[in-house]
């Protein structure tokens, strides 16, 4: 399963652990019970767990993602991983994160927006609408990209190490990670980033992640979305 995001990015599921019954049986073990077939009573149980934040059964579902995203998107993403991991009540302690290294692999891909947005007048960290002169904005962007990539390649050709030469590259360079996380951790990310005040680019990744998680755990994802009042456009 693979979802294209932005111009050159993607999210794909590499592996997963568990299924829709995993949450049910993890909760029912308290009563010494186990089921082999999912039914309507299980749906009611899962909805109760999600609505009233009994989250531990959801952590038994695990997903390993392969993600390709611009560096500035990935830095926002990793704040969730580190920030929540340091909390004793973390929903993402059960995670792993490994990233491609620019020390070993030369950087090749860079993100270019389809639309250049203008700075919001009442929100210092947000954008709204489009700048009037899209052609000039794209020209300046492409010029900056051309010079950055050209000088980076010249440094590599001179024998400068990749670990040092990469420092001149801009934040729109694409990077890749493997992220393994529990279902709850994934839902936490989606809730925080599939939200209108988040940067548009990371919203696109959150939407793609919701779609691909639904493909992996359809019943549980639908019930979670229903319990939290999310719209499911999948």
Query: What percent of the chain is predicted at pLDDT more than 70?
Result: 94
176: β partners: 68
H helix intervals, the chain: 20-28, 40-51, 71-85, 134-157, 162-165, 183-193, 200-216, 218-227
Answer with the residue of higher pLDDT: 150 or 33.
150
What's the mean pLDDT in 201-225? 96
Q: What is the pLDDT of residue 95?
A: 76
CA distance 176 to 157: 24
CB 186 within 8 A of CB 213: yes
- Concerning whether 193 is annotated as a catalytic residue, the answer is yes
User: How high is the pLDDT of residue 234?
Assistant: 61
Q: What is the pLDDT of residue 92?
A: 44
Confidence at residue 88, expressed as pLDDT on a 0 to 100 scale: 42
Residue 126 · residue 120 · CB < 8 Å:
yes
Could you say which DSSP state residue 123 is in? -
Residue (of 107, 130, 105, 110) closest to 120 by Cα position: 130
Cut 0.85: pTM above it:
yes
Q: What is the pLDDT of residues 61-82, one digit of tens each?
A: 999 999 999 999 999 998 876 5
User: What pLDDT shows up at residue 86?
Assistant: 45
Report whether pLDDT(35) > 90: no
Among the listed residues 107, 115, 104, the one whose alpha carbon sits nearest the alpha carbon of residue 74 = 107
80-96 pLDDT, tens digit per residue, is 765 445 444 544 456 78
d(C-alpha 116, C-alpha 132), whole Å: 9
Residue 164 has pLDDT above 90, yes or no: yes
Alpha-carbon distance 1 to 72, whole Å? Answer: 24
pLDDT of amino acid 48: 95
Q: What is the C-alpha separation between 138 and 78, in angstroms, rounded?
A: 28
Q: What is the pLDDT of residues 103-140, one digit of tens each?
A: 999 999 999 999 999 998 888 888 989 999 999 999 99
- When the pLDDT of each residue in the chain is averaged and rounded to a whole number, the result is 91
- Work out the burial of residue 203: count CB atoms within 10 Å of its CB; fewer than 13 is exposed, 13-18 middle, 19 or more buried: middle
Instruction: Calculate helix-pair angle for 200-216, 71-85, nearest 10 degrees.
Output: 70
Q: Going from the N-terminus, what domains does the chain have, and what CATH number goes with each? A: 2-105+172-227 (3.30.1360.170), 117-168 (no CATH)
Q: What is the pLDDT of residue 96?
A: 87
Per-residue pLDDT band at 5 (split at 50, 70, 90): very high
> How far is residue 136's CA from residue 7's CA, in Å, rounded to a whole number?
20
Closest CA to 195 of 76, 33, 41: 76
């Amino acid at each position: 399963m693979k979802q294209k995001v932005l111009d050159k990015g993607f999210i794909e599921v590499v592996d997963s652990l568990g299924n829709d019954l995993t949450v049910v049986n993890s909760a029912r073990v308290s009563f010494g019970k186990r089921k082999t077939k999912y039914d309507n009573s299980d749906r009611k149980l899962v909805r109760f767990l999600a609505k009233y934040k009994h989250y531990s059964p959801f952590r038994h579902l695990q997903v390993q993602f392969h993600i390709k995203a611009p560096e500035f998107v990935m830095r926002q993403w990793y704040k969730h991983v580190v920030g929540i991991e340091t909390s004793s009540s973390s929903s993402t302690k059960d995670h792993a994160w490994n990233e491609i290294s620019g020390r070993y692999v030369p950087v090749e891909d860079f993100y270019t927006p389809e639309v250049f947005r203008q700075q919001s007048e009442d929100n210092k960290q947000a954008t709204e609408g489009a700048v009037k002169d899209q052609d000039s904005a794209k020209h300046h962007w492409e010029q900056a990209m051309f010079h950055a990539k050209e000088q980076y390649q010249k440094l590599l050709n001179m024998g400068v190490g990749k670990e040092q030469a990469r420092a001149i590259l801009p934040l729109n360079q694409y990077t890749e990670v493997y992220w393994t996380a529990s279902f709850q951790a994934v839902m936490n990310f989606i809730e925080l980033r599939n939200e209108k005040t988040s940067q548009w680019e990371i919203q696109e990744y959150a939407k793609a992640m919701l779609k691909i998680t639904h493909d992996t755990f359809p019943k549980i994802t639908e019930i979670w979305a229903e319990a939290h009042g999310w719209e499911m456009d999948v």
